[in-house]
């Protein structure tokens, strides 16, 4: 018995060793060959354009409503949108070709802006005017073939796409004559959005963190997800020949490019410390700002591009207008949150092949106005508009979800001010792109248009 046990034990160890060795060989082969459906940078060039249906194929006869909604959303313009085209071809591509550290952005930008072109290895894709399939941007078939993401955190296009005749959606009821249907719980998660709306720069800095901001805020605890605000539901048919549902998810993706989404995001209240004042005396106005609408920070996403600021002015009884600069609070980095006429964005000179480029005006707003932003800095410590060249971040003076901020404005009345009613107005403004940058790069004016978020006024009585 003892000898048999020894033989069986030795044999068992031999089988175990062989099995383990085979497993190691398999895993090595699996690793070198790549995953069946790799993600992130490893996915570049692993698919063909023909693996994916065109949006028009999906929308011309079946999903007509969703197709028309998608056409009006930025998802359909992620590659063709004027600023994205200018930023990619005028800044990102030449910068990547001159700086090895950021070389990956030449392909990587397309992982979220033209994902099918990225998967096909079409890098850089043809310019939008050439009408290639890169123009499909973030298309129907790309999103509805995503089955998950690789790793612990969704970011930098680490989604996994499994193209074929099976399409993934939030339900499996009904039948389709064009494809098989499979239910995907992943499509209803914020992680699905985070695969592109979270991004790290080549310097390992979070330059987009919208989903992570949501995760750290109160809306995550209440299970109010990205889709609940950016893909609202209603009663409709999801396909022309399909069933009608009470909770069909609209494909409008309202966001930073929708003035209606921006207006009213922050509520304003304004009040003075005294109701009557005489010339030569100071009066302090307190501005209360409450972010009552976004489940992430405001602004979010391409924070290096966005600028949100408050302009306060007083108008006396004769109509003369006085600008009221914000009272400084004294926190570290505050200089980047107050309007200035200094120059910035000198690292654009790398892409433009201008080593001595002096930059452009940093803000393009009245000097002294309060800005709600987080500045990005290049490796030389200069403020940058190029997220891929971001090596560090400055003070984060944006609005968190349901956050209230207080700003004060102390106005010492000039002796020549007209007696009577003094009206003080605070206006919060939003621009998708800092205007001096837009002007310098000849971006269409609409990208730097001012959207009024909110406004509020208060009055005091100026005594003779």
pLDDT at 15 (0 to 100): 40
Tokens of 362: 């940093």
The yes-or-no verdict on residue 61 having pLDDT over 90 is no
Helices (H), 132-248: 140-143, 190-197, 210-215, 218-221, 226-230
Per-residue pLDDT band for 172 (boundaries 50, 70, 90) equals confident
Helix (H) or strand (E) holding 12: helix 2-33
List the domain boundaries for the chain: 40-249, 259-462
More confident residue, 172 or 316: 316
Which range scores top for mean pLDDT: 1-5, 15-19, 344-348?
344-348
The yes-or-no verdict on residue 304 having pLDDT over 80 is yes
pLDDT at 216 (0 to 100): 97
pLDDT at 175 (0 to 100): 83
Per-residue pLDDT band for 18 (boundaries 50, 70, 90) equals very low
**DSSP summary character for residue 338:** B
Task: Note the pLDDT tens digit of each residue in 334-343.
Answer: 999 999 999 9
Per-residue pLDDT band for 24 (boundaries 50, 70, 90) equals very low
Nearest of 292, 449, 426, 428 to residue 373 by alpha carbon: 428
The yes-or-no verdict on residue 8 having pLDDT over 90 is no
Nearest of 303, 432, 308, 300 to residue 376 by alpha carbon: 303
CA dist 362 to 121, 165, 299, 368, 384, Å?
36, 50, 17, 13, 9
Paired sense of beta strands 370-371 and 307-315, if any: antiparallel
Task: Note the pLDDT tens digit of each residue in 254-274.
Answer: 999 999 999 999 999 999 999
pLDDT at 192 (0 to 100): 98
The four Cα atoms 401, 329, 338, 384 give a dihedral, to 10 degrees, of -70
Indicate the average pLDDT of the chain.
93
pLDDT at 221 (0 to 100): 97
pLDDT at 164 (0 to 100): 95
Per-residue pLDDT band for 239 (boundaries 50, 70, 90) equals very high
pLDDT at 196 (0 to 100): 98
The yes-or-no verdict on residue 21 having pLDDT over 50 is no
CA dist 312 to 60, 267, 334, Å?
50, 15, 18
CATH code of the domain made up of 259-462:
2.60.40.3880
Q: Are 307 and 363 in contact (CB under 8 A)?
A: yes
Task: Note the pLDDT tens digit of each residue in 89-126.
Answer: 999 999 999 999 999 999 999 999 999 999 999 999 99
The share of the chain scoring above pLDDT 90, in percent, equals: 89
The yes-or-no verdict on residue 23 having pLDDT over 50 is no
Cα–Cα dist 144/163, whole Å: 9
pLDDT at 173 (0 to 100): 80
pLDDT at 357 (0 to 100): 98
Task: Specify the range with the lowest mean pLDDT, choosing from 19-33, 206-220, 352-366, 442-456.
Answer: 19-33
pLDDT at 3 (0 to 100): 43
The yes-or-no verdict on residue 455 having pLDDT over 80 is yes
Per-residue pLDDT band for 251 (boundaries 50, 70, 90) equals very high
Average of pLDDT values for 125-132?
A: 98
Whether the upstream peptide bond of residue 124 has omega within 30° of 0, thus cis, is yes
The yes-or-no verdict on residue 25 having pLDDT over 50 is no
Per-residue pLDDT band for 14 (boundaries 50, 70, 90) equals very low
pLDDT at 213 (0 to 100): 98
């Amino acid at each position: 018995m003892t000898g048999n046990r020894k033989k069986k034990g030795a044999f068992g160890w031999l089988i175990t060793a062989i099995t383990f060795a085979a497993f190691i060989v398999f895993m090595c082969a699996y690793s070198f060959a790549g995953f069946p459906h790799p993600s992130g940078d490893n996915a570049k060039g692993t698919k063909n354009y023909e693996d994916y249906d065109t949006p028009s194929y999906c929308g011309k006869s079946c999903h007509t409503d969703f197709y028309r909604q998608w056409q009006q959303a930025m998802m359909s313009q992620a590659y063709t949108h004027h600023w994205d085209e200018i930023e990619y071809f005028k800044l990102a591509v030449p910068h990547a070709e001159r700086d090895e550290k950021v070389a990956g952005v030449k392909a990587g930008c397309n992982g979220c802006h033209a994902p099918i072109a990225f998967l096909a290895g079409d890098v850089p894709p043809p310019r939008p005017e050439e009408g290639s399939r890169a123009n499909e941007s973030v298309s129907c078939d790309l999103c509805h073939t995503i089955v998950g993401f690789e790793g612990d955190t969704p970011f930098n296009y680490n989604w996994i796409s499994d193209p074929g005749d099976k399409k993934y959606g939030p339900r499996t009821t009904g039948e389709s004559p064009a494809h098989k249907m499979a239910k995907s719980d992943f499509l209803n998660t914020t992680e699905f959005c985070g695969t592109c709306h979270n991004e790290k720069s080549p310097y390992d800095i979070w330059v987009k963190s919208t989903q992570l901001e949501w995760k750290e805020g109160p809306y995550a605890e209440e299970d109010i997800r990205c889709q609940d605000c950016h893909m609202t539901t209603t009663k409709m048919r999801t396909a022309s020949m399909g069933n009608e549902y009470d909770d069909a998810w609209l494909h409008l993706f309202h966001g930073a490019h929708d003035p209606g989404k921006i207006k009213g995001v922050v509520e304003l209240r304004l009040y003075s410390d005294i109701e009557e004042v005489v010339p030569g005396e100071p009066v302090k106005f307190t501005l209360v700002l409450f972010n009552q609408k976004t489940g992430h920070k405001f602004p979010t996403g391409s924070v290096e591009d966005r600028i949100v600021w408050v302009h306060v002015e007083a108008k006396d009884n004769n109509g003369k207008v006085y600008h009221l600069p914000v009272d400084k609070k004294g926190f570290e980095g505050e200089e980047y949150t107050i309007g200035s006429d200094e120059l910035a964005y000198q690292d654009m000179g790398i892409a433009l092949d201008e080593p001595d480029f002096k930059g452009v005006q940093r803000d393009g707003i009245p000097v002294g106005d309060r800005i709600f932003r987080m500045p990005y800095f290049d490796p030389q410590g200069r403020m940058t508009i190029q997220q891929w060249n971001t090596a560090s971040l400055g003070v984060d003076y944006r609005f968190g979800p349901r956050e209230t901020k207080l700003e004060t404005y102390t106005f010492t009345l000039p002796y020549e001010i007209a007696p009577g009613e003094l009206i003080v107005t605070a206006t919060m403004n939003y621009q998708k792109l800092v205007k001096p940058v837009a002007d310098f790069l000849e971006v269409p004016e609409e990208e730097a248009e001012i959207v009024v978020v909110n406004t509020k006024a208060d009055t005091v009585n100026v005594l003779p």
